Amino acid sequence: YAGLPDEAGHKHGWGTGKYYKAIEHVDSLVGTLISTLKSQGVFEETHIFVVTDHGGKGYGHGGESMEEIEVPWIIKGPGIIKNRIIKQYVNVYDTAPTIAKLFRLSVPDCWAGKPVQGAFMSSEVSRQNKNVYVPKPKASIKSGIYTRPQMLSFTIASPDAEVRYTIDGKHVTSGSAIFSEPIPLTKSCTVYAAAFLNGKKSREARVDYIRVVEIRSISLLTRYSKKYHASGPKSLIDKKRADFDFHHKAWMGFEGTDLVAVLDMGHSRTFRDVVIGTLKNEQSWIFLPKKIELYTSTNGFDFHKLKSVKRDDFAFESSGSNDIVINIGRATTRYLKVIVRNQGTCPKGHPGQGEKAWLFVDEIMVR
Q: How far apart are CA 155 and CA 191, in angstroms?
A: 15
Q: How far apart are CA 314 and CA 323, in angstroms?
A: 9
Angle at 239 between CA 235 and CA 243, to 5 degrees: 80
- Using CB atoms within 10 Å of the CB of residue 41, give its burial: 0 to 12 exposed, 13 to 18 middle, 19+ buried: exposed
Task: State the CB neighbour count (10 A cutoff) for residue 122.
Answer: 8
Closest of 356, 335, 337, 336 to residue 345, by C-alpha? 356
The band of 55, judged by pLDDT with boundaries at 50, 70 and 90, is: very high
DSSP SS3 for 156? coil
Q: Select from 2.60.120.260, 1.10.10.10, 1.10.10.350, 3.30.565.10 the CATH code of 217-366.
A: 2.60.120.260
Are residues 190 and 220 in contact, defined by beta-carbon separation less than 8 angstroms? no
Q: Select from 1.20.1260.10, 3.20.20.70, 3.40.720.10, 3.40.50.720 the CATH code of 4-128.
A: 3.40.720.10
Are residues 335 and 297 in contact, defined by beta-carbon separation less than 8 angstroms? yes
The band of 194, judged by pLDDT with boundaries at 50, 70 and 90, is: very high
Task: State the CB neighbour count (10 A cutoff) for residue 215.
Answer: 21
Asked if the model's pLDDT at residue 130 lies above 90, the reply is no
Angle 4-12/17-39 helices, nearest 10 degrees? 170
The band of 199, judged by pLDDT with boundaries at 50, 70 and 90, is: confident
The band of 96, judged by pLDDT with boundaries at 50, 70 and 90, is: very high
For residues 212, 218, 223, 224, the Cα torsion angle rounded to the nearest 10 degrees is 40
The mean pLDDT value of the chain amounts to 95
Q: How far apart are CA 194 and CA 156, in angstroms?
A: 9
What is the pTM assigned to this prediction? 0.75
What is the per-residue pLDDT for 343? 96
Q: How far apart are CA 156 and CA 175, in angstroms?
A: 19
Mean pLDDT of 308-333: 92
CA 190 to chain CA mean position, Å? 13
Residue 17: partners with Cβ closer than 8 Å, 6 or more residues away: none
Are residues 143 and 188 in contact, defined by beta-carbon separation less than 8 angstroms? no
Tens of pLDDT, residue by residue over 211-249, are: 999 999 999 999 999 999 999 999 999 999 998 889 989
Tens of pLDDT, residue by residue over 322-340, are: 999 999 999 999 999 999 9
Q: How far apart are CA 215 and CA 337, in angstroms?
A: 12
Asked if the model's pLDDT at residue 153 lies above 90, the reply is yes
What is the per-residue pLDDT for 317? 80
Asked if the model's pLDDT at residue 314 lies above 90, the reply is no
Delimit the domains of the chain by residue range.
4-128, 138-211, 217-366
Which secondary structure element, helix H or strand E, spans residue 358, and what is its range?
Answer: strand 358-366
* Structural fold of domain 138-211: Immunoglobulin-like (2.60.40)
Asked if the model's pLDDT at residue 101 lies above 90, the reply is yes
Mean pLDDT of 247-276: 97
% the chain with pLDDT above 70: 100
